[in-house]
Amino acid sequence: MENVKAERVEAAEEAVSGPERRQRFQFGPWLFNVVEAQRIIARSPRDPSPLPVAQWARFYGLDDDGHDGGLSLFTPMLGFDRAYALTTDLSTPVLVATLEGKEGQAFPLLIDGTHRLFHAYATDVAELPAYVLTVEESRAIREDGWVTG
């Protein structure tokens, strides 16, 4: 088990080493530093959690199946490259931030892995591995000036 964790740390450090990468995820006024999230995972390894693909793909507007005519809160960004998405590595965990609502309820937000999510949905993969950040870790990667306690 220790070897597996050491390999994960090494892979995560390798992914964020070298010249500073600028990868951000924006949700409304909130901006999340994905590279810093990867560093947190490298410093505090954890086992990935299963992310149910169909449910998340529908929520992110990636399902394209005309399900009951409802609207998705999210839609793929303009220029979302579905062909590229089908080349992504589904063994690489997606990143999920945990946010806290005004009433103190926690809720998840996918901040890295939309292409992998589409790939998994399009190829009928039921679950993806996901690294889930705590509320505190998610606050630490916010760069938008709207961070409140």
| Cβ 143 vs Cβ 32: under 8 Å | yes
When the pLDDT of each residue in the chain is averaged and rounded to a whole number, the result is 83
Q: Is residue 44 part of a domain?
A: yes
Q: Is residue 15 part of a domain?
A: yes
**Residue 135 confidence (pLDDT):** 96
Please name every residue paired with 30 in a beta bridge, in sequence order, or none if there are none. 27
Percent of the chain at pLDDT exceeding 70: 72
> In this model, does residue 72 exceed pLDDT 80?
no
How far apart, in whole angstroms, are the C-alpha atoms of residue 126 and residue 57? 11
* Counted domains in the chain: 1
Q: Are strands 106-112 and 30-33 parallel, antiparallel or unpaired?
A: unpaired
Question: What number of residues does the chain have?
Answer: 149
Please name every residue paired with 123 in a beta bridge, in sequence order, or none if there are none. none
| Cβ 43 vs Cβ 5: under 8 Å | no
Q: Are strands 94-100 and 127-132 parallel, antiparallel or unpaired?
A: parallel
Reported as a single tens digit per residue, the pLDDT across 81-93 is: 999 999 999 999 9
**Residue 130 confidence (pLDDT):** 98
131 or 27, which is more confident? Answer: 131
Q: Is residue 68 part of a domain?
A: yes
Q: Is residue 149 part of a domain?
A: no
Q: Is residue 122 part of a domain?
A: yes
Q: What is the pTM of this model?
A: 0.78
Q: Is residue 73 part of a domain?
A: yes
For the beta carbon of residue 132, count every other beta carbon within 10 angstroms.
Answer: 18
Q: What is the span of the domain harbouring residue 116?
A: 2-140
Please name every residue paired with 32 in a beta bridge, in sequence order, or none if there are none. 25, 142
Tokens of 17: 């080493």
Helix (H) or strand (E) holding 51: strand 49-52
Q: Is residue 132 part of a domain?
A: yes
